[in-house]
A and B are shown apart, each in its own frame.
Chain A
């Protein structure tokens, strides 16, 4: 057992760190005891500090280059009131969800294969890590060259960028499966299909949910990158438009809207989804 632990960390030396998102990073940095009023005050302080710093910087830079907080706020309000927000938002969100589903399916399959079979593990390992280290924009460019500017190009590009992250996540999960359960299954001669359904998949649930949680934020960022080239709708396209008009207020306003929506979805949908999927498992702070 001891040797196993060391070997895993040794192996991970070459592995990339898991994707961190605002949602997964937040609990890491939270101090254990925090009163509600104190933390609300600190959050307000944070907002004030950031806005003040931003405002001070705008005093020393030309407006058309560095927009003031008010300019971005007005732009955000204008995007909302002109009804422009929803079509662009739904375009990007649809792409995000479809590509995430595609990447989850491919990544889970690959992760399980890598996890249960040593041959395929060393067969795919280097390629998966190489795929992880490719900048997403490169895939987007290649897919646009191959398939033209359309939804299929975007879908394939983002699936290709995201699925290695999912595969690594699931792979770790398969490695973490309780060996005793498997040995028991094997000595009772459970067939492979039933082993996967009854033992492998249930123990993978936390990792799969983790993969969804991490890669939802990741895939909307990748969709944004792909949209810079390959779309005429969506957040990436709007950022590109703002870039071409030298309109940094417009770029920031669109990004702010989308970041708000994504964080809202993370907290309102994905957080509860995770709680629901893992409801059988006590939280760490309940146990200790």
Chain B
């Protein structure tokens, strides 16, 4: 753990070399923090499910049974696909609007003033209002999630991109001017590398904002997708069903995060030294 250096107290739980082998084995397996955290949660869940009636806390088995039921009778892949389509469309539009707004903000006093106010107003509004207004305006069409998601997420993209442009080394730009580098080279070799971390941050943040918006939008105003499924189970007061869909939603989002963003990031920042190299 690289955080070792920053430790504050002497309170960490660990195994000492003089401990008996059974204790060392225990610490190496189930007491590993990540394993233990899962175990603790599962045990708490089992206890709560045993003590409370099934319609308050469904047990893991109830949830599995419900998941099987849903997998057979409903069409979960279709719901996942529709939600992902909405999220990706809204996210693409948010990035497509936010990026030029951020660049424009960084490129002039008047643009900065006007767009800054606009971005701040959009940021001050809660995302609920966009989800619900978009449903009123566009009903069940694909325009509703696009407009709601883009309205919620583009200010965050714009601020991040603005920060990125502002972080470009001015001396490098001056040098490029002195040596008369072509504009495209300046963009690719000077601007982009220092903007990349900010663009990634903005993509990630926009993605998270969009999926939270789409969840609300689907719960209130769609007739398909994972949010709508959650709402259906909620109306039936079927907690097992709500659990199944919530877990599915969280799992899909996490997989997407890990598979897409982390991979891209690793690829883009492969020139950066790893921690181990510097030690």
Contacts and interface: CB of A to CB of B under 8 A. Distances in A.
A138 B215 contact: yes
Contact of B136 (A141, A228, A243): A243
Interface in A237-283: 239-240, 243, 246, 248, 251-252, 255, 259, 262-263
A82 interface: no
B216 A225 contact: yes
Contacts of A287: none
B275 interface: yes
A6 B273 contact: yes
B34 A123 contact: yes
A177 interface: yes
Nearest to B211: A135
A66 B137 contact: yes
B17 interface: no
A192 B9 contact: yes
A116 B11 contact: yes
Q: How many of chain A's residues touch chain B, expressed as a range?
A: 35 or more
A65 B249 CA distance: 31
A117 B216 contact: no
Given A22-B124, A118-B1, A123-B34, 16 more contacts: A4-B5, A6-B275, A13-B265, A25-B159, A28-B159, A38-B109, A43-B113, A46-B115, A65-B136, A115-B8, A117-B9, A136-B212, A138-B215, A145-B239, A177-B8, A248-B137
Interface residues of B, number: 79
Given A46-B114, A179-B6, A17 B205 contact: yes
A124 B136 contact: no
Main SS at interface, chain A: helix
B12 A117 contact: yes
Interface in A1-57: 2-4, 6-8, 10-11, 13-14, 16-17, 20-22, 25-26, 28-31, 34, 38-39, 42-43, 45-47, 49-50
A142 interface: yes
Interface stretch (A125-133, A150-158, A162-170): A125-133
Given A133-B250, A141-B234, A174 B8 contact: yes
Given A16-B208, A243-B220, A39 B113 contact: yes
Contacts of A124: 37
Interface string A39-81: 1001101110110000000000000011000000000000000
Main SS at interface, chain B: helix
A239 B8 contact: no
B118 A46 contact: yes
B102 to A, nearest CB: 9
A3 B278 contact: yes
Interface stretch (B74-82, B127-135, B178-186): B127-135
Contact of B119 (A29, A66, A120, A263): A29
A119 B3 contact: no
Nearest to A11: B2
Contact of A145 (B120, B121, B237, B254): B237
A252 B162 CA distance: 28
A89 interface: no
Given A122-B1, A174-B8, A224 B113 contact: no
Contacts of A246: 136
A29 B162 contact: yes
B150 interface: no
Given A42-B110, A133-B250, A28 B127 contact: no
Interface string B235-259: 0010100100010011001100100
B128 A239 contact: yes
Given A11-B2, A122-B33, A255-B129, A25 B114 contact: no
